Chains A and B, each alone.
Chain A
Amino acid sequence: MPKGFRKQLKLTSQKVGVSRREELLHNISDDNGFLPQGVHIKDMDASFVEFVKDELKIEIDGETVPVIFLTIQRYADFTKTWKFTDDYKNIKMPFITVVRNPDIQKGTNYAGLGNIPGHHHWSYYKVPTNDGARLGMDIYKIPQPTSVDITYEVRFFSNKMSDVNVIHNKVQRTFNAIQAYIYPKGHFMPVTLPTISDESNIEDFENRRFYVQTFEMLLAGYILDEEDFVVEPSINRTMIMNEIEIDPNKDTRK
């Protein structure tokens, strides 16, 4: 490869400073006017699966290892796996599964602190208004997001040690700065990797044997419900009218 060869060309310049902050704000509001987009648990689930598909994407023998988000319905199980199955509808190794723990815990997104009591709404944006006669201002208010901790179990299945190396290499490099990020609806949320464990089915010599590597990932997310957003009219431009009456008989001169 010649010296100075570039793999990727930056065709659009990256924004920095104030422009970047405005871009982030725009990403959060997107098409939602001046308000941020609401973010719910399903949005975090979808974003996490995308994170696993994109950031933890690995290829083995020239093929991308499939990522499957699993729940308990058997039909859904088959619907998600049929492309990767054999004649007996068994999925073929290697593959990655994502299972979300159903129990969602109180969040640690605010470093373990809770919300300010009272379900207050807080000013987010001031929007100028004009009703045709008077200029005014609406105040858009949002509640404090409710932080939640969601645990995902990402499992890698394979029957080759060299494949196990590939996934560990990818995961360790992705989390080498302690946390990675997902951004459901433009909201950046950290994902950490508390534990890595081995559930390999290799203890029985007279049975089918394969490796299972389990990566427990913790998403420190939050819920922001758009139904709780409030728009309040604020002060309008005040018109002060003074009426002055002048008595022509009265000499005001002194």
Chain B
Amino acid sequence: MAARGETLARQFESKVQEATAVFEQLSDADWKKLTAAEKWPVGVVAHHIATSHEGIGGILKALADGKPGPNIPKEALDAMNATHAREHAGCTKAETIALHKKNAAAAAGMLRGLDDAALEHRGSVLAGVPPMSAADLGGVLSAHIDEHLGSIRKTV
């Protein structure tokens, strides 16, 4: 029985739906506005959310599989985010929403497949930050949407 994974997946899916609704209502003008927090266009922030389901989900799966965790230095995280923003400066709303739904479905499916023991596996995700469990990262999946969706809402 993977009750905890199911709970985490449902919480995440709820946030995903909330984000989808916000993305769908963004106008072309909104899409291009610059956010104060990330200093990226709103569309790039949305694409970052959509992409990150895969990245966070991948790390979560690695921890659940018993791997030690990537121990990502802060500068590396900043570099990855900056590279992503540069590469996807021209992303469209339609492609972003499609990616968001696809990656979210994969992450939710993966969460549902994890038993409680796997969710307890811990590893170092970020350098200088205490180790996290796979379940903690399940929470991060939702919190990450919250964080950036708040920024989008403030901007538009």
Answer whether A and B are interacting partners.
Answer: no
